[in-house]
Amino acid sequence: MPLTFEVIAETLRERIRSGRLKPGDALPTQAVLMREFGASSLTVQKAMALLKQEGWAVSRPGKGAFVAHHDSADDLDGPEATEPTVGTTARVEALERALAEAAQQIADLRGRVEALESGSGERDR
């Protein structure tokens, strides 16, 4: 018997395969999934992490989770449709976004450190 997070993940995969959720569509929020499946927030988070790991979903910080873009997952039937074969594109896009955000955060932090250092240097004089 599958665990609840696996049931949630498979239900969302099926909604994507059937076309009810299309690439770029927002996935249901954590609160909606918790109500729908009677699940805890941790269970829903595990399901979403699994979908992201498999390339079915991508996160947009501050905006939520969205259906990933797949080039040929729509054409698959049967067990091989469980995991997108071309989900690599979505994963690369997600990694590129995460890298760009991390680079921006580093630049912001570097600016703050420089401002603090220049401010404290003036106070020491």
Which structural domain, as residue segments, surrounds residue 92? 4-124
The SS3 call for residue 7 is helix
- For the chain, the C-alpha Rg in angstroms (whole number) is 20
The CATH number of the domain holding residue 36 is 1.10.10.10
pLDDT digits (tens, 9 = 90+) for 72-100: 444 444 444 444 444 666 667 777 777 77
Q: Among 105, 26, 14, which residue's Cα sits nearest to residue 58?
A: 26
* Cα–Cα distance list, 68 to 37, 39, 89 (Å): 22, 24, 9
The residue type of 108 is D
What percent of the chain stands above pLDDT 70? 78
Q: How many domains is the chain partitioned into structurally?
A: 1
pLDDT at 36: 96
Instruction: Read off the pTM.
Output: 0.56
Q: 24 and 59 in contact (C-beta within 8 Å)?
A: no
- Chain segment 5-19, per-residue pLDDT in tens: 999 999 999 999 999
